[in-house]
Structure 1
Amino acid sequence: MDGIRLNIAVTGESCSGKSTFINAFRGISDEDEGAAPTDAIESSKDPMPYFHPDYPNATLWDLPGIDTLKYPADTYLKLVEFEKFDFFIIISDTHFTENEVKLAQEIQRMKKKFYFVQSKIDNDLRAEGRKINFSEEETLRKIRENCIQGLQRKGIESPQVFLVSSFELQLYDFSLFHETLDRDLPSNKRDTLLFVMPNINPEIIIKKKQALKSKIIYYATLCAAGAAVPLPGFSIAVDLFLLVGAVTDYVHVFGLDIPSLKKLSDRTGVPYADLRAVIISQLAAAEISINLLLKVVAQLWSVAALTAAEEVSRFFPFIGIPVSAGLSFTTTYTILKLILTELADDAQRVFEKVLV
């Protein structure tokens, strides 16, 4: 996955909520280090990349608004290097302009995907909420229909419009937005998108678990190859090296590392100690090390027995190495499956705690 790049273009008028959306997508707040600035001067801004803090191969690009002095509409796509982006997100907090519609039509002509995002929907609901007989569902329906009809009148066929609040991604259309992106992206880029997505609903966590589980066989195969080297202790060293890397990846994917949990606490107002209290795995909210991993593995008696059997088996002539490789595969697969399940369960508990 580390070699698969995902470049997401985000464009729209100044003050439309682009920067806050980019930050929320990356799981950080506007005040965090490395956040996209929310006070940039649009007319002088160039395309700016913002890497995901855990997966730098996933990049969100904050593009200047179309038809500024530096980026006129007729040469906009060429100037922003259109070809490198996997898809475009066109953001507005009021209505989509003629220039944004022209951009969408040009993107469509070049056979790339684009999506309209109506941001700051929470502000719209608060404004409408003062009215008598307010209905959130009916208000959202009307806003969505107005956006779609406005775009259709301007020449966009079957526009895809998503209503989003960057401060509450778990609400409104962001889950549907992810499902649409997941369906539209090439298969080799779907996991990259999935792993950088915040845990906005239980289904995201389940999908992450399934995607990570499908890759366990590769780690297990590498460990089996290490077991084929006839050196005492070498197999265990290889196993531990690979396990530390895999488990570290799991922790980051589920947002259970210390920085991610603290950012979640700041963003939601739920104290870090409360989030930490619902976590069971010793590997979450901790620095993953070989010593910590050995401690956790030692508590899995069946796994410990397999590890011992693997080391003993290599001393038997002829059949020792194949048996050792098979045991190494089984041991690694079992360890990672158990750890993955525990971390996924922790991610679910953290998500539920945030919702309380």
Structure 2
Amino acid sequence: MDEFGSADNLTPDQIIAELDKKLKEWNTVPVNIAVVGNTGVGKSTFVNAFLGLKRKDPRAAKVGVVECTKEISKYPHPNNDKLIFWDVPGIGSQAFPAETYREKVNMIEYDFFVVMSSQRFTENDVKLSNMIKEMGKNFFFVRSQVDVDIYKQAKENDQSPEDVEESVMRTLREDIESRLKKLGMNDQKHFLVDNYSVDKYDFGDLFDATQSRLDEMQKTAVAFSCTHLTSKSLIEKRVKILKERIPLIATKCGLVLLDSSRNEVVYDEVCMYRTQLGLDIKQKYMLASGKENTLVKRIVRQIGGTVQAQSIAFIYKLCARFKSNVKYEQAKCRLEKELKSAHDEATENTRKLYTLVAGKTKS
């Protein structure tokens, strides 16, 4: 209860309200990510990949063969309207000249930047990157449309995409590193992605890198919002955050008087485990009520009308007399088991997915 200072002055309802506030805090923290680059490099498609939206979804960024990003566009994540991706025009165009670019796109407002290219990083990209660095902001270089390069090379060599994938990826990396070195951007992180296949190439590594540029609550916001993105590292990251919620949920269960309400709290949290770990949330979790001591039931009924007005210290003393603090331990134990089960299932599903992808690549 150290989370809330002096709990003695709070009623159970107030404690529960504070717990709920903390549990939902990740959904209230603003995160602003700017995706910048020249026309036609795939910024809009990249934004949609992170949002988990199909092209025809009315909430998706517009994608087309002509220039779509003529102005700054705002795209809130469908799972969290505080997580916003900004599709930003590239630097150096007539509408966004280098001299006034910083002010026009309001660069100070973004948490970090993704600088995109579909072929090579240009002097304008470097100019933009230096501008970002001067502001003390972070950025990544992202080379999109890797799949196009692979299929083009495969067609030229009369081979399958799988046969040339490794060599194309190696060539692209060497080319990018060489060009960035010539542009004075040694050791700058870069990622190769296919915006239509987020489980391939460097998309997962890019996601991990974005996390490293955020504070702890922002990391949780991004990890919990992008539930369509799954990888072994992301599963482990989410499990770590979910474990930290267990004492709060167990405390809430210890304060709730009715078994049905307590079960609902646990049920909702288990559903969250399964959603966050990419499992089927429709699977039924009927949580059986534990046997309640008759004496404790009677006491709860007797004080039910006045209990909300009592201090938390009084409630704890009363619970201790009849050992009903077991409710906290029961909830904590159940939640830990459910999280472990979900973690094991998600890890196995991920292993099978990558085994399947690897098998198709070799075949």
Task: Give TM-score scaled by structure 2 length.
Answer: 0.75
Partners of 2:199 and 2:333 in 1: how far apart? Answer: 33
Partners of 2:62 and 2:45 in 1: how far apart? Answer: 8
State the aligned residue count.
310
**Aligned with residue 140 of structure 2, among 76, 93, 115:** 115
Equivalent in the alignment of 2:38: 13
Structure 1 counterpart of 2:204, one-letter code: S
Contact kept, 8 Å, 1:311 with 1:324, in 2: the verdict is no
Specify the structure having the higher radius of gyration (Cα).
2
CA RMSD of aligned residues (A): 3.0
Partners of 1:156 and 1:135 in 2: how far apart? Answer: 28
Structure 1 counterpart of 2:319, one-letter code: I
Equivalent in the alignment of 2:329: 330
Equivalent in the alignment of 1:315: 299
**Aligned with residue 248 of structure 2, among 203, 207, 218:** 218
Contact kept, 8 Å, 2:144 with 2:192, in 1: the verdict is yes
Equivalent in the alignment of 1:74: 99
Contact kept, 8 Å, 2:69 with 2:88, in 1: the verdict is no
The structure-2 alpha-carbon separation of the partners of 1:309 and 1:181, relative to structure 1 and needing over 3 Å to count, comes to: farther
Give how far 1:143 is off. Answer: 0.7
Partners of 1:311 and 1:245 in 2: how far apart? Answer: 29
Partners of 1:116 and 1:11 in 2: how far apart? Answer: 10
Contact kept, 8 Å, 1:163 with 1:174, in 2: the verdict is yes
Partners of 2:327 and 2:263 in 1: how far apart? Answer: 11
Give how far 1:177 is off. Answer: 1.7
The structure-2 alpha-carbon separation of the partners of 1:210 and 1:44, relative to structure 1 and needing over 3 Å to count, comes to: closer
Structure 2 counterpart of 1:202, one-letter code: K
Give how far 1:128 is off. Answer: 1.9
Q: What is the SS of the residue equivalent to 1:66?
A: coil
Matches of residues 124-203 of structure 1 in structure 2 within 5 Å? 124-130=149-155, 131=157, 135-197=164-226, 198-203=228-233
Equivalent in the alignment of 2:4: none
Partners of 1:325 and 1:75 in 2: how far apart? Answer: 65
Partners of 1:40 and 1:48 in 2: how far apart? Answer: 18
Equivalent in the alignment of 1:239: 262
Structure 1 residues 258-317: Cα deviation after superposition (integer angstroms, max 9, x where no partner): xxxxxxxxxxxxxxxxxxxxx5xxxx136xxxxx65xx102xxxxx32x62498367289
Contact kept, 8 Å, 1:42 with 1:65, in 2: the verdict is no
Task: Please identify, of 208-217 and 344-353, the stretch whose mean Cα deviation from structure 2 is larger.
Answer: 344-353
Give how far 1:251 is off. Answer: 3.8
Contact kept, 8 Å, 1:313 with 1:324, in 2: the verdict is no
Task: Please identify, of 100-109 and 57-66, the stretch whose mean Cα deviation from structure 2 is larger.
Answer: 57-66
Percent identity over the alignment? 28
Equivalent in the alignment of 1:250: 273
Partners of 2:122 and 2:282 in 1: how far apart? Answer: 45
Q: What is the SS of the residue equivalent to 1:11?
A: strand
Partners of 2:331 and 2:74 in 1: how far apart? Answer: 37
Partners of 2:98 and 2:147 in 1: how far apart? Answer: 31
Give how far 1:71 is off. Answer: 2.0
Q: What is the SS of the residue equivalent to 1:185?
A: coil
Partners of 1:194 and 1:206 in 2: how far apart? Answer: 11
Structure 1 counterpart of 2:251, one-letter code: T
Equivalent in the alignment of 1:30: 55
* 1:297 and 2:291 are equivalent in the alignment: no
Partners of 1:251 and 1:184 in 2: how far apart? Answer: 27
Equivalent in the alignment of 2:14: none
The structure-2 alpha-carbon separation of the partners of 1:253 and 1:77, relative to structure 1 and needing over 3 Å to count, comes to: farther
Structure 1 counterpart of 2:152, one-letter code: A
Structure 1 counterpart of 2:276, one-letter code: V
Matches of residues 38-77 of structure 1 in structure 2 within 5 Å? 38-39=63-64, 42=67, 45-77=70-102
The structure-2 alpha-carbon separation of the partners of 1:10 and 1:309, relative to structure 1 and needing over 3 Å to count, comes to: farther
The structure-2 alpha-carbon separation of the partners of 1:39 and 1:314, relative to structure 1 and needing over 3 Å to count, comes to: farther
Task: Give TM-score scaled by structure 1 length.
Answer: 0.76
Q: Which has the higher contact order (CA 8 A, sep 6+)?
A: 2
Uncovered stretches (5+) of structure 1, i.e. residues with no partner: 228-233, 257-278, 287-291, 299-303
The structure-2 alpha-carbon separation of the partners of 1:43 and 1:65, relative to structure 1 and needing over 3 Å to count, comes to: farther
